[in-house]
Amino acid sequence: MVHTIYVPTFAFWKGDVESRLKLLEEEVLHNEKYKGKFEMGLEIGGLAKHFANQEPIDQIYGNMILVAGGVKSIVHGFAGLEVYTAGIADMSDDVGKSLLERYIGLGKKLNSSYVHVHGSAGFQGIKEPENKSDRLQKIRENLLYGLSISDGIPIGLENLPTPSACDFDSNPETVWSDCVQQPADVQTVIQKTPLKFTFDTAHYSINRNGYIDLIAPVKKMKDHLHHLHVVDSCGYWKANVSKCYDGSIPGDGRIGPDSFEKFFKHIHEHHPDLGICIEVRNIDEKNPEQTRQGIRRVLNWLSQ
Ligand SMILES: [Zn+2]
């Protein structure tokens, strides 16, 4: 059993698939230090328009086959503020169900190992939504529908920061929040089902103080844990004052190297085949040097 190391790709652009594949080949596949110790894969993301209908998805499929045919893949879809503003990603609604069908259709054609999404059940403001439990229930129904048509591809849900669009807005009246934020929300949706959990370390760390214990939330999820988004965060979201960001190289942000080192020891011991995606933001996305640094650190922690 080995870990598969993934990096995100906006696969609508052929050049992006090429640069990410080259990076994985250099750092994972052909790295003398780790020969045979890790597998590699691409996690497909993009902009809302890349998944809004079938035509761009066919182009994504074509690029993946042409450039990365045979390489492991995961379908994650689009993220950022667009999951709310584009109006097609809400998994508690029929629009989200249709989007999930398109993601799963792509995953089936590519023989992907996982399809996972954000709840994207957004509302504006910092408040407890009145209909939260109904929306979580609807998300569960739609994800279970997805699982019923996925031909065995696992379907999962990711935790989000609080507020979930905290890197776009500091106004507590207009910032977007989500019915699915903390791991506890994900747990409400997936408990007593075969649905899976994607743990995003940066989303979890945002606005937490002191030592960030990454092990506790994955222990709680037990067998639901299926995939990691590994990245650090910085800044604090403060009403009308400041925003916070995810995207730092793991170890360079609030989580820091000590917590990550302990976390990966636990992961390697207890989840030796877990998929791990390095979700770092690059200064120049055409030249993903920060992702390269992130891969190096994670492989080092996993090998200690
Ligand atoms: Zn993530």
150 — phi, psi (to 5°)? Answer: -90, 0
CB–CB of 170/242 below 8 Å? yes
Considering only CA atoms, which of 151, 291, 283 is closest in space to residue 230? Answer: 291
Which pLDDT tens digit goes with each residue over 25-35? 999 999 999 99
User: Would you put residue 152 in left (φ > 0), alpha (ψ -120 to 50) or beta?
Assistant: left
CB–CB of 45/8 below 8 Å? yes
The CA–CA distances, whole Å, from 156 to 24, 25, 94, 120, 121 equal 24, 27, 18, 13, 15
CB–CB of 19/290 below 8 Å? no
Which pLDDT tens digit goes with each residue over 89-131? 999 999 999 999 999 999 999 999 999 999 999 999 999 998 9
Give 279 Cα–ligand 1 centroid separation in angstroms.
7
Give 36 Cα–ligand 1 centroid separation in angstroms.
26
Give 70 Cα–ligand 1 centroid separation in angstroms.
24
Structure tokens at 79: 């993220």
Give 229 Cα–ligand 1 centroid separation in angstroms.
5
Considering only CA atoms, which of 93, 210, 205, 99 is closest in space to residue 141? Answer: 93
- Residue-level pLDDT at 130: 86
Give 167 Cα–ligand 1 centroid separation in angstroms.
14
141 — phi, psi (to 5°)? Answer: -60, -45
∠24-245-14 over CA atoms, to 5°?
Answer: 35
Q: Which domains does the chain have, with CATH numbers?
A: 3-302 (3.20.20.150)
Which pLDDT tens digit goes with each residue over 123-137? 999 999 989 999 999
One-letter identity of residue 101: E
CB–CB of 204/260 below 8 Å? no
One-letter identity of residue 109: K
For 228, which DSSP code?
E
Cα 130 from Cα 25, distance rounded (Å) = 48
Give 43 Cα–ligand 1 centroid separation in angstroms.
11
CB–CB of 233/245 below 8 Å? yes
Per-residue pLDDT of the chain (304 residues; tens, 9 = 90+): 899 999 999 999 999 999 999 999 999 999 999 999 999 999 999 999 999 999 999 999 999 999 999 999 999 999 999 999 999 999 999 999 999 999 999 999 999 999 999 999 999 999 999 899 999 999 999 999 999 999 999 999 999 999 999 999 999 999 999 999 999 999 999 999 999 999 999 999 999 999 999 999 999 998 999 999 999 999 999 999 999 999 999 999 999 999 999 999 999 999 999 999 999 999 999 999 999 999 999 999 999 8
Give 257 Cα–ligand 1 centroid separation in angstroms.
19
What is the β-pairing status of strands 245-248 and 232-234? antiparallel
Structure tokens at 277: 């995606």
One-letter identity of residue 282: N
Give 31 Cα–ligand 1 centroid separation in angstroms.
26
With 0.75 as the threshold, say if the pTM is over it: yes
